[in-house]
């Protein structure tokens, strides 16, 4: 009866990150664990029941429209960060530079996981994926500061490798070292 | 930069339906319009910020776990209801018998629309699709009451035609006759 099915791939949480104040910049700080409520990550600048539309949704909404917050958590993978770093010719791309809350490993092509995939962590806390995250200019500037001459290609080089945004389906804690179970909706194309 | 794109197909709202009290049964009553807030449809028995896990999610959760409500609105289409009615050999399948909130037309294979598709109504109110709705036993019983001998095949005959469940991204009103704009995420398969 259920239309999401668990797959055999199990991911792992490599790092948890927080940014209490967006005004100080995009960069986040490592932390031992994250507490998820239906508002998002407690203490993170992106938490809240709602968010305002911005440049990402200009084809749908003017700026400043109140929307349900579906960008509560930003996830990236060790594997994809390494690929982007290689393309940018820098030694490493730390997740804190690009505003991620979770660095995970063991999930191939993390960014391409289908919308509405469920990610269940060891505590039972569960995220639902909304969409791929769009590589934008802000991380480019951070990388450029650390590695002058290497950051500005980020939006192009990070295409389809910049991770996902997700929202909380079930409250709970996420801790470094957690396993991540994956429940996928049916995969098929809508041909119209 | 946006990862959802509008398509040229425009749907139409054919009917709005409400059920204030689930205890009276699955059947809903027609109404002129629906008011959407972030909690769902005002006055409907499925509204609320959260919901409890049930038989649909047994592979993920035990029953009774508090989850974000992502089944706020149930949508079905005129075209798919006609197909199910034909398979059940009954003259028509009214949306109120199967607990739908919205009957729409003009969107082919409504049930197969990809997860995270945005549906924007005339007022600007917007739903985000979570998943296909699973045909279960309750509508079968209602149909069986109206057409003895024809209802029990519903779960089988309604596979992939029983519509969608969605949640509110932007608040607003939905009225019969509204147009529905569709914004789809990238369509692709995750091959792992």
Is some CB atom of chain B closer than 8 A to the CB atom of A120?
Answer: yes
Residue A26, pLDDT above cutoff 70: no
Q: What are the structure tokens assigned to B184, written together? A: 């789809």
Band of pLDDT at residue A20, cut at 50, 70 and 90: confident
Residues from chain B that touch A113, judged by Cβ atoms under 8 A, are 190
pLDDT digit string (tens) for A111-127?
A: 999 999 999 999 999 99
Q: What is the pLDDT of residue B1?
A: 45
* Residue with the larger pLDDT of the pair A126 and A25: A126
Residue A136, pLDDT above cutoff 90: no
Residues from chain A that touch B183, judged by Cβ atoms under 8 A, are 59-60
**Beta-carbon separation of B132 and A185 below 8 A:** yes
Q: What is the pLDDT of residue A22?
A: 72
DSSP B2-17: -S-EEEEEEEEEEEEE
Residue A1, pLDDT above cutoff 70: no
Residue A3, pLDDT above cutoff 90: no
Query: What ipTM describes this predicted complex?
Result: 0.94
Question: Backbone phi, then psi, for B81, in 5-degree steps?
Answer: -60, -40
Band of pLDDT at residue A101, cut at 50, 70 and 90: very high
- For residue B32, the distance in angstroms to the closest alpha carbon of chain A comes to 25
- For residue B118, the distance in angstroms to the closest alpha carbon of chain A comes to 9
Contacts of residue B167, defined as CB under 8 A and 6 or more positions apart, other chains included, come to: A68, B40, B69, B70, B71, B72, B73, B127, B128, B130
Residues from chain B that touch A132, judged by Cβ atoms under 8 A, are 3, 185-186
Alpha carbon dihedral B131, B135, B138, B142, in 10-degree steps, equals 120
Average pLDDT over residues A155-183: 97
Residue A183, pLDDT above cutoff 60: yes
Is some CB atom of chain A closer than 8 A to the CB atom of B116?
Answer: yes
Closest CA to A120 of B59, B5, B114: B59
Residue B173: exposure state from Cβ atoms within 10 A (0-12, 13-18, ≥19): middle
pLDDT digit string (tens) for A40-96?
A: 999 999 999 999 999 889 999 999 999 999 999 999 999 999 999 999 999 999 999
Is some CB atom of chain B closer than 8 A to the CB atom of A115?
Answer: yes
Tell if the pTM clears 0.90, that is, is over it: yes
In chain A, % of residues over pLDDT 70: 97
Give strand ranges (E) for B2-139.
5-18, 29-31, 33-37, 40-41, 50-52, 66-68, 73-77, 102-105, 118-121, 126-132
- The CA distance from B153 to B140, in Å, is 7
Interface of A with B in 130-159 (CB under 8 A): 130-132, 134, 136
Closest CA to A24 of A52, A50, A48, A45: A45
* Residue among B6, B70, B112 minimizing CB distance to A59: B6
Longest dimension (CA), chain A: 54
Enumerate residue ranges in chain B where pLDDT < 70. Answer: 1-2, 26
Residues from chain B that touch A68, judged by Cβ atoms under 8 A, are 38, 128, 167-170
SS3 A39: coil
* Residue among B1, B49, B189 minimizing CB distance to A187: B189
Number of Cβ atoms within 10 Å of the Cβ of B156: 11
- The CA distance from B65 to A127, in Å, is 15
pLDDT digit string (tens) for B101-152?
A: 999 999 999 999 999 999 999 999 999 999 999 887 888 999 999 999 999 9
Average pLDDT over residues A5-33: 88
Mean pLDDT of chain A: 94
**Beta-carbon separation of A169 and B136 below 8 A:** no
């Amino acid at each position: 009866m259920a239309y999401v099915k668990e797959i055999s791939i199990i991911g792992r949480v490599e790092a948890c990150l927080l940014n209490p104040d967006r005004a100080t910049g995009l960069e986040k700080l490592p932390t031992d664990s994250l507490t998820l409520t239906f508002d998002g990550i407690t203490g993170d600048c992106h938490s809240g029941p709602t968010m305002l539309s911005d440049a990402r949704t200009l084809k749908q909404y003017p700026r400043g429209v109140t929307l349900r917050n579906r960008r509560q958590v930003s996830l990236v993978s060790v594997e994809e960060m390494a690929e982007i770093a290689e393309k940018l010719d820098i030694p490493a791309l730390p997740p804190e530079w690009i505003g991620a809350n979770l660095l995970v490993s063991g999930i191939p092509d993390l960014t391409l996981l289908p919308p509405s995939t469920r990610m269940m962590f060891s505590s039972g806390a569960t995220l639902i994926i909304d969409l791929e995250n769009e590589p934008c200019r802000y991380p480019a500037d951070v990388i450029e500061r650390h590695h002058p001459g290497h950051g500005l290609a980020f939006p192009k080089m990070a295409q389809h490798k910049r991770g996902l945004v997700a929202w909380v389906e079930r409250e709970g804690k996420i801790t470094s070292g957690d396993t991540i179970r994956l429940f996928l909706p049916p995969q098929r194309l809508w041909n119209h």
